[in-house]
Structure 1
Amino acid sequence: MRVAFLGLGRMGALLAGHVRDAGHDVTVWNRHRRELDGARVADSVGEAVDGAEVVVTMLFDPDSVRAVAGELLEHAADGAVWVDVTTVGPAASRELGERAVAAGVRFVDAPVLGSTPLAEPGELTTVVGGADEDVERVRPLLGTWCADGKVVHVGPVGSGSAMKLVVNQSLGAVAAGLGEALGLADHLDLPRDAVLDVLSAGAYGWTLGQKRPMLESGDFSAATFSLSGLAKDLGLVVDAAGDHPVPLTREVRARTQDAVDEGHGDEDYAVVIARIAAGRD
């Protein structure tokens, strides 16, 4: 299959590598030119997309996808499938899907659950929105970066993006709760090692299994999911919620954005756990 892959950040490069390793004919493009062994490198979006059967976008936010959408759709072949893996929210996915259909291109939203530790071995989960026939057409491609059985068709276009926001809302909520629990434990003069051991056996176990070394060392530089990414996603959650009350998410989003504004955006999102534990606003 001829595949154009747009976006070679930390996650994009890993996903594109899995597509290449599965034997597909891959052309890549990145806003700042980057290469991928075994793939052609295009100098423009149009050059990358020309002749592709499937176009994958793995960018940062809705505006970054909109920025390439015009050129992508201008050059995409009739009947090609555009798979957007970017976390953009359901409204943006539906908007992009409508633009794609008007240009004769099929559209699937397929954000991934998990970060680089799962992306490297190809053990992610992908939540997918789109028409049945379009999802089945690209399922083998999505499977190149997923664990067996972890390509989950949720519903029509926008459903995958909606599910991704529900998942990342819980990520932010758990981070804030864990930070508050650690801060309370410090206030009660409990030894941090014992607290981490006990909390690891409960509701915070998954997060501590991933983030305990960072919390113990205080070094959040080796980001697997950046704080700026979490702040962006929580903003999308608030936008998607509209009039539906999400007071906890609004508070956590404010805390994460404050930390981004103070220069922590490129650090792992676990830095917000430490900040809340330390009583920092």
Structure 2
Amino acid sequence: MPNTPTITLLGTGTMGVGMTHSLLREGLPVTVWNRHPEKAAPLADDGASVATSLEDALRGAQVVVTMLFDADSVASVMEQALPLLEDGAVWVQTSTVGRDGTARLAALAAQHGAPFYDAPVVGTKQPAEEGKLVVLAAGPAARRELVQPVFDAIGGRTVWLGDEAGAASALKLVANSWVALLTAGAAFGIAQAEAFGLDPAKFLETISGGAADSPYLQVKGKAILEDRTGDAQFALDGVLKDLRLIRSADEAAGVPTTLVDALVALYASASEAGAGDHDLAGVITAFRADRA
């Protein structure tokens, strides 16, 4: 197998753009496609080939990467794309689609005889741009040499979770549960400090460097304090979509949903208040709404 596979990336939102930049930086040939061509067009200036049709996008592709919003959008695109794949091409599915969504997409791949890699990524806009995502991967061992250069380009490390699709997407739900919880916790602490008449920066200062601190908490906390939640690293509506997937998976697995129910309610409240396209740190809106 070649060390530099030809890649087609379907989906050029925030994450898809960052991943494209990282692939190009490593010298990998990349063709990009978006259902709305104007969203992919700027990547031509960065060195990507921009296709205006799926047929053109998939011509010659050895690795097809999907980075779309949800299982429905991935399935809609791949139902059209799979019959067009060339012999030997593999499908790398990096979107967060949950356990049921992954099973659905893996079955779709099997119907068309396409090797399928369940490979959601952990990280947001900046790690995607820097090639520092964590790739959670599960898929056939026989073709890993074809997809590993892709994972190495977009990620700082790859965590392999076996040959069967599903485990990687399950672990992604666990990771995103923590991200949503930690961000909501930072917002809650700041909102409390504000309500108590305190300088909320003192909250972050108090826990800085201690056992309860984390770099992510400080980053999200400072984004809230500096009113930078409009710069979406991970859009709040995307987190809300993932939390609903998490709740569904928890229910199916018998995990109590008390905590995730509260998180869904918080992020939904912030979205309804207009923060849906903001960074997930915009969850602060839910805590401030009753005091507005």
TM-score by length of 1: 0.91
Unaligned runs of 5+ in 2: none
The separation in 2 between residues aligned to 1:253 and 1:246, in whole angstroms, is 10
Q: Distance in 1 between matches of 2:240 and 2:291?
A: 17
1:129 aligns to 2:138 (yes or no) = yes
Structure 1 position 32 matched with structure 2 position 36: yes
User: CA contact under 8 A between 1:46 and 1:74: conserved in structure 2?
Assistant: no
Cα distance in 1 between the residues matched to 2:273 and 2:203: 29
Q: How big is the shift at 1:25?
A: 2.4
Cα 1:67/1:192, change in 2 over 3 Å = same
Please list the CA deviations of residues 202-250 of structure 1 after superposition, one character each: whole Å capped at 9, or x if unmatched. 4343233312332212341111111111101101101112242121111
Q: Do structure 1's residue 196 and structure 2's residue 207 form an aligned pair? A: no
2:126 maps to which residue?
A: 117
In the alignment, does 2:115 pair up with 1:102? no
Q: 1:152 aligns with which of 147, 159, 175?
A: 159
Matched to 1:23, the amino acid is G
Q: Is the 8 A contact 1:58 1:85 kept in 2?
A: yes
Deviations 1:177-209 (A, max 9, x none): 233333444455543222110123343432333
Distance 1:7 1:239 in 2: 25
Q: CA deviation at 1:47?
A: 2.1
**In the alignment, does 2:284 pair up with 1:276?**
no
How far does residue 278 in structure 1 lie from its aligned partner after superposition?
6.5
Unaligned runs of 5+ in 1: none
Maintained 8 Å contact 1:180/1:277: no
Query: Does the 8 A contact of 1:223 with 1:266 survive in 2?
Result: yes
| 2:13 corresponds to | 9
1:251 to 259, 262, 268: 262
What is the percentage of aligned positions where both structures have the same residue?
A: 37
1:224 aligned partner, one-letter code: Q
- Secondary structure, in 3 states, of the residue corresponding to 2:135? strand
Name the CA distance, whole Å, in 2 between partners of 1:186 and 1:204.
Answer: 20
Partner residue, 1:265? 276
Compared CA separation, residues 278 and 190, structure 1 to 2 (3 A): farther
Equivalent position amino acid for 2:63 in 1? V
Counterpart contact for 2:193–2:200, Cα < 8 Å:
yes
Match of 1:45 in 2: 54
| Residue 20 of structure 1, aligned match among 8, 20, 24 | 24
Any conservation in 1 of the 2:273–2:285 contact (CA below 8 Å)?
no
Deviation track 1:18-66 (CA, whole Å, cap 9, x = no partner) reads 2223222221101111222322221222321122111001111111101
Q: 1:280 and 1:126, CA in 2 relative to 1: closer, same or farther beyond 3 A?
A: farther
- State the alpha-carbon separation in 1 of the partners of residues 176 and 152 from structure 2: 22
After superposition, the C-alpha distances for 1:101-151 in whole angstroms (9 at most, x for unaligned) are: 22121000111111112122211111112122233431121110111xx11
Taking the TM superposition and a 5 Å limit, the aligned residue runs for 1:169-208 are 169-202=177-210, 203-208=212-217
Counterparts of 2:12 and 2:186 in 1: how far apart (Å)?
Answer: 32
Task: Report matched runs for 1:63-102 at 5 Å.
Answer: 63-102=72-111
Secondary structure of the structure 1 residue equivalent to 2:280: coil
**Which secondary structure state, in structure 2, belongs to the residue aligned with residue 224 of structure 1?**
coil
Query: 1:220/1:40 Cα in 2 relative to 1: closer, same or farther (>3 Å)?
Result: same
1:163 corresponds to which letter in structure 2? Answer: L
Per the alignment, in what secondary structure is the counterpart of residue 120 of structure 1?
helix
CA distance in 2, matches of 1:105, 1:5: 16
Aligned length: 279
When the two chains are superposed, the root-mean-square deviation of aligned CA atoms in Å is: 2.0
Residues 188-197 or 257-266, more deviating: 188-197
User: What TM-score do you get using the length of structure 2 for normalisation?
Assistant: 0.88
Structure 2 distance, partners of 1:270, 1:176, is: 7
